[in-house]
Amino acid sequence: MIPLSHSLAIAALLFVLGLAVVLLRRELLFILIGLEVMLNGVALTAIAAGQYWGNADGQVLVIMLMTVTAAEVVVALILVWLAYDHYKAVRVETLTHLKDETERSSS
């Protein structure tokens, strides 16, 4: 059996690596990948805690988390695809003008 501290250390490493990708990369696809890595770290924490306490709540939480994550990935990839199709770019800097367009259209 793997000790809880090892599982939590790996989960923390996954979360920090995902956070670093989100904060340092400017491409939307890499930001989405970083978010997924962060969610995998959270899922590993839930599974390790469930195993440590001897119940299946962690596994049930991870199944629900994976369902929500799958839906999030589909929606996010469609948005990235549409942004690339319309603006021919998926870098965050090139899409920041979208905020100004939405502010003008709402007023």
* Predicted model pTM: 0.80
Just give the CATH number of 4-106: 1.10.287.3510
Q: Residue 100: its pLDDT value, please?
A: 64
Measured between alpha carbons, how far is 69 from 64 in angstroms, rounded to an integer? 9
CA separation, residue 102 to residues 84, 90, 96, 99, 107 (Å) = 18, 18, 11, 5, 9
Q: Cβ neighbours of residue 57 under 8 Å, at least 6 residues apart?
A: 46, 50
Q: Residue 19: its pLDDT value, please?
A: 97
What residue segments make up the domains of the chain, in order of their start? 4-106
Average of per-residue pLDDT across 94-102: 67
Average of per-residue pLDDT across 74-93: 85
Name the residue with higher pLDDT: 19 or 26. Answer: 19
Read off the DSSP letter of residue 92: T
Q: Residue 1: its pLDDT value, please?
A: 80
Measured between alpha carbons, how far is 8 from 86 in angstroms, rounded to an integer? 42
Instruction: Return the amino acid letter for 37.
Output: V
91: three-class secondary structure by DSSP: strand
5 band by pLDDT with thresholds 50, 70 and 90:
very high
The pLDDT > 70 percentage for the chain reads 91
Average of per-residue pLDDT across 38-58: 93
